[in-house]
Amino acid sequence: MVSLKNRDIISIRDFTKEEILYILDLSKEMESQRHPDLLKGKVLASLFFEPSTRTRMSFESAMKLMGGEVISFAEPGVTSIVKGESLRDAVKIIEGYSSAIVIRHFLEGAPRLAADAVDIPVINAGDGANQHPTQTFLDLYTVQKTKGTLEGLTVGFLGDLKYGRTVHSLAYALAHFNCSMNFISPPTLRMPTDHLEELKERGARYSEYNSLEEISDKLDVLYCTRIQQERFADPVEFEKVKGTYRLNKAVLEGLKIKKDLKILHPLPRVDEMDESLDATPYAVYFQQAHSGIPVRESLLASILGVMG
């Protein structure tokens, strides 16, 4: 019997395969039926120290759709952190105003620090280039829904694999499902060695490539990512890789691909994936973003102890 009551969601590595599948099953149920009073009386503190559209709005919407409330600040500059208050003190105070905290922070490890400081559940909504575990749950949900399974798929990850936190989290999750992982990036944006070593320890199968052409015909799923300009310490380095991969309908039609290939992207996109792909049967990234509601509903309901 799986119970995620009071659990923090900091890294996907903290979840077993059974727990992941439990959340995916619950998300299906959440999608099929509304639960307007499930979180009545519960309050989510929404602390975003970096920009967000999808994660923040889908968490806040999920909370409200289940009858809960959300508190947040308009932007980090209006909190007392600018007066020198530590993040630890801030979350210890916010703990007294809320039932759970969702936090996005530019510092890797900040959500773990927050979770260690408080007794209510803390959700990592993205910490620097490290992890984005709730995105992974909705990525898995989308793959399972569109491919019919998570087991044994051949998955390509394209773009910025160095700074792409969604890639890091998803790769760990797919290691539970005997997937073949294919990391396609410029040499300077490869998957970090520490992640590769840990993936190997977890028994993951992976290969690295410079170009999509080398592996496109084998892929069941292609997970595209934006080159994360904001994470480059040196703008010259960004200029060297800017626009490396530009996927559009014509480029895709020129490649050998499987007919039932599905293309995911955590979004936002910039220039790496053209709108001409949107109407093709391959594109599932809008569906992926919209599944943020049932998936985050099931995560909130589980950690707040009203489901499971």
Contact residues: ligand CP, CB under 6 A = 52-56, 126, 135, 266-268
- Give strand pairing partners of 182: 156, 207
* 13 labelled catalytic: no
What is the DSSP secondary-structure string of 80-133? GGGGT--HHHHHHHHGGG-SEEEEEESSTTHHHHHHHH-SS-EEEEEETTTB-H
Cβ distance 127 to 6 under 8 Å?
A: no
Compute the distance between CA of residue 28 and CA of residue 33 in angstroms, rounded to an integer: 9
Least separation in angstroms between CB 152 and ligand CP:
26
Whether the Cβ atoms of residue 292 and residue 267 lie closer than 8 Å to each other: no
What token pair was written down for 289? 């973003």
Which residue type, as a one-letter code, is found at position 251?
A: V
The nearest distance, CB 231 to ligand CP, in angstroms, is 13
173 in Cβ contact with 140 (< 8 Å) = yes
Catalytic residue among 28, 35, 54, 92: 54
> Nearest distance from residue 119's CB to ligand CP, in Å?
27
d(CA 206, CA 50): 31
Q: What are phi and psi of 45, to 5 degrees?
A: -90, 120
Q: Which of 104, 162, 168, 262 is catalytic?
A: 104
- Catalytic residue at 5? no
Rounded Cα–Cα distance for residues 98 and 95 (Å): 5
Smaller CB separation from ligand CP, 68 or 292: 292
User: Annotated catalytic, 168?
Assistant: no
Q: CB of 1: closest distance to ligand CP in angstroms?
A: 31
280 is a catalytic site residue: no
The beta-strand segments (E) located in 178-285 are 180-184, 205-209, 221-224, 262-264
CB of 287 to ligand CP, least distance (A): 14
Shortest distance (Å) from residue 269 CB to ligand CP: 10
222, 198 in Cβ contact below 8 A?
no
Q: Cα 274 to chain center, whole Å?
A: 21
Q: Annotated catalytic residue: which of 105, 132, 176, 296?
A: 132
Residue 195 or 265 with smaller CB distance to ligand CP: 265
* Angle at the Cα of 169 from the Cα atoms of 204 and 284, rounded to 5 degrees: 100
Nearer of residues 216 and 294 to ligand CP, judged by Cβ: 294
Nearer to ligand CP, 58 or 216 (CB): 58
Residue 104 annotated in active site: yes
**Of 46 and 135, which has the nearer Cβ to ligand CP?**
135
- Active-site position among 7, 42, 55, 146: 55
| Nearer CB in complex with ligand CP: 37/271 | 271
User: Which are the catalytic amino acids?
Assistant: 54-55, 83, 104, 132
